[in-house]
Amino acid sequence: MSNDSLYQKSNFSRLGEFSKLSPEAFRAFVTFDQKALAEGHLTSKLKELIAVAVAHTTGCPYCIDLHVKQVKKQEASKEEMSEAIMVATVLKAGSAMAHGVNALNAYDEVEDEDLYKASYFNRLREFSRLNGDAFNAFISFDQQTMKAGALSVKEKELIAIAVAHVTGCPYCIDVHIKNAKKVQVTKEEVSEAIMVATALKAGSALAHGVNALNAYDE
């Protein structure tokens, strides 16, 4: 093992050490993670696809490795996995784009104590004038990504909702909840998607704990 290598698959085996170092919290997390990923209103397969998408949003290599293996066990195809990753990609990019309306407000010195209003999102179209080619290319990317393919529109909207909760983009949450309702997503299904996102975001922090153990034991 190179002393320079910060990420190796074998590092993940140290995760169990937290069961001795912080036993109650570790056990509580493991229980939550298992319940969040268990089959419910959403299938185990869709939950693992959501997990793969969220893992790409958090950028956790251990989580990607683990949940891609899990999604294969659920017999998801490489095409389905790829589409889930593309939804994560467009939502992560879309979060940056959406926050551009806040930048426009700041640049124009808009006097308003509210930093987030649903109406601010209407300013997004200004980017078509300010940087038309790139803006239009992004819109095309978004539309192509979110249309039905190996995954249905409903499945993609549930993935989008989960990712939006990880990026913390209030505009994205608002848009994709409304889109999800149009394709008959239930509140229970939304809740389960959010719980998967929560487990994966927490899991990313915990998984990186193996790097902390390595650094501490240097």
pLDDT in tens, 137-171: 999 999 999 999 999 999 999 999 999 999 999 99
Q: pLDDT band at 6, cuts 50/70/90?
A: low
Q: pLDDT band at 1, cuts 50/70/90?
A: very low
Domain locations along the chain: 20-216
Q: Taking the model in full, what pTM does it have? A: 0.93
- Which pLDDT does position 199 carry in this prediction? 98
Burial of 153 (0-12, 13-18, 19+ CB in 10 A): middle
pLDDT in tens, 28-61: 999 999 999 999 999 999 999 999 999 999 999 9
**Distance from C-alpha of 104 to C-alpha of 131, rounded to nearest angstrom:** 13
Q: How far is CA 164 from CA 6, 68, 77, 193, 194, in A?
A: 28, 20, 24, 11, 9
CA triple 188-189-194, angle to 5 deg: 95
* CB atoms closer than 10 angstroms to residue 154: 17
Question: Is 204 within 8 Å of 64 (Cβ atoms)?
Answer: no
20-216 domain in CATH 1.20.1290.10? yes
Question: Is 74 within 8 Å of 48 (Cβ atoms)?
Answer: yes
pLDDT in tens, 74-108: 999 999 999 999 999 999 999 999 999 999 999 99
